Amino acid sequence: MCKFENRGFNEEKMMKNKMNLIRFFVFSVLMLMLGATMAGDPAKGRGIYATRCSGCHGPNGVPTLADIPNFTLGQGMMKPDHEIMAFVKKGKTVMPGFEGVLKDEEILDVIAHIRTLF
């Protein structure tokens, strides 16, 4: 009887280990799909930001014009990268769209740089 109980415990433990491994694998795949692979390079983004963005958003993220987000306070940045990228591509009011001007990778680099400002 003791051997049977032990055997059942080992099978239960093995099943839990398998389930944990499956959960870890699914979680890892989801993280890759949901943006972990989208992270930009802030060092590359710094130069693009200086050329394309700093005229309005300021060299350090403090805007030079009214009604523009202050990046040092995180304004406009509390969204996932893919949402910010869609906004940057389309533009809005005084901000021009950068679709066709900047590659997706470059936009993500700029977003990564801006995230270092706050």
Going from N- to C-terminal start, the domains of the chain cover 2-34, 38-115
Pick 2 or 13 by higher pLDDT.
13
Mean pLDDT value of segment 12-36: 74
Q: Which CATH superfamily is domain 38-115 in?
A: Cytochrome c-like domain (1.10.760.10)
pLDDT of residue 10: 80
* Closest-CA residue to 52 (of 114, 110, 118): 110
Q: Which two tokens stand for residue 3?
A: 């051997």
Measure the CA–CA gap between 71 and 58, rounded to whole angstroms: 9
Rounded (5°) CA angle 4-6-10: 115
Amino acid 5: pLDDT: 55
- Tens of pLDDT, residue by residue over 74-109, are 999 999 999 999 999 999 989 999 999 999 999 999
